[in-house]
Homo-oligomer: A and B are copies of this chain.
């Protein structure tokens, strides 16, 4: 079974470790993290060893590397892993700087690199894509994407996150690209700080509405908020020439209660690790396929393109006008 090493023993690293461990074709052999106790704990839980990055990459038995470390280290780990000939799974975004990422692109051009845009692996969105591809609603014309987090992250996280567009909307940019079938050529974004003044003080925004346009005139709206107050709101509506298809929210249960006050249904799955548990599992399954030789379904070009849209959205907010790509 192919051996896999994990870089980053934090929350998202733990998810990937568990999915590797549960996968019948992968073995987790190494955990790499500067925070030793975290690395130890995660390695112990899955029968892996703690090691230094260099040793891991030097181990010829390691077929694949999962990069789930802090964002500022993604690109360097990618470059090193590529140089060592490993298959790479890299969490989004590939970097916080588009120029830097583009500069690294030639060195990554031949790498087998899978980007962690997990929405592409979500069964709900996969079903929507399949419905679109089947022609059930004709030719796609426009998209309305709603992507609201339940509650804002800590201010400490906000400060190193790269901002709402690079950290959160980047998923939606990739989703839009995936579904539109052609690259957005124009981005306009309006954004506010309505949720928490501390986010504004950190020079970030917490509420945004984004409008994308493609060369053929397809349009896409994205609605983002760092706080919903009612759960993790993750929906896509795709409008085609003969109909509309919607991937709705996933609720905690199919329970409904009727009383004096009306009907009450269960809340949305509230946490991204719950809502996208299947997506995380399935993208790791695809990484096993990549290790075995398959072409990554989402790779370097997608990483750069989503980052470009994120930077364009931020520039649009700063300039107050649309940004052409």
Does A124 lie at the interface of the complex (its beta carbon under 8 Å from any beta carbon of B)? yes
Taking CB atoms, residues of chain B closer than 8 Å to A138 are: 229
Does A136 lie at the interface of the complex (its beta carbon under 8 Å from any beta carbon of B)? yes
Minimum C-beta distance from A53 to chain B (A): 30
In the bound assembly, the distance between CA atoms of A277 and B268 in angstroms comes to 21
Minimum C-beta distance from A276 to chain B (A): 13
A245 near B255 (CB under 8 angstroms)?
yes
Taking CB atoms, residues of chain B closer than 8 Å to A153 are: none
In the bound assembly, the distance between CA atoms of A249 and B264 in angstroms comes to 15
In the bound assembly, the distance between CA atoms of A194 and B218 in angstroms comes to 8
Taking CB atoms, residues of chain B closer than 8 Å to A253 are: 123-124, 127, 247
Taking CB atoms, residues of chain B closer than 8 Å to A320 are: 322
Q: A274-304: which residues lie under 8 A (CB-CB) from chain B?
A: none
Minimum C-beta distance from A117 to chain B (A): 20
Q: A173-211: which residues lie under 8 A (CB-CB) from chain B?
A: 186, 188, 190-195, 207-209, 211
Does A57 lie at the interface of the complex (its beta carbon under 8 Å from any beta carbon of B)? no
Q: Which applies to chain A's interface (DSSP): helix, strand, loop or mixed? A: strand
Q: Which of A63-71, A106-114, A236-244 contacts B (4 or more CB under 8 A)?
A: A236-244
Taking CB atoms, residues of chain B closer than 8 Å to A60 are: none
In the bound assembly, the distance between CA atoms of A148 and B242 in angstroms comes to 12
Q: Which of A27-35, A72-80, A85-93, A219-227 contacts B (4 or more CB under 8 A)?
A: A219-227
A223 near B221 (CB under 8 angstroms)?
yes
Q: Which of A7-15, A139-147, A164-172 contacts B (4 or more CB under 8 A)?
A: A139-147
Taking CB atoms, residues of chain B closer than 8 Å to A124 are: 253-255
Minimum C-beta distance from A142 to chain B (A): 6
Contact flag A230-B259 (CB < 8 Å), given A127-B266, A223-B221? yes
Q: What would be 27 A-B contacts, judged by CB atoms less than 8 Å apart? A: A136-B259, A137-B257, A137-B258, A137-B259, A138-B229, A141-B207, A142-B207, A142-B209, A142-B223, A144-B221, A188-B211, A188-B322, A190-B213, A192-B213, A211-B211, A229-B241, A229-B244, A230-B258, A230-B262, A231-B258, A245-B255, A247-B254, A248-B254, A248-B256, A258-B268, A262-B267, A263-B266
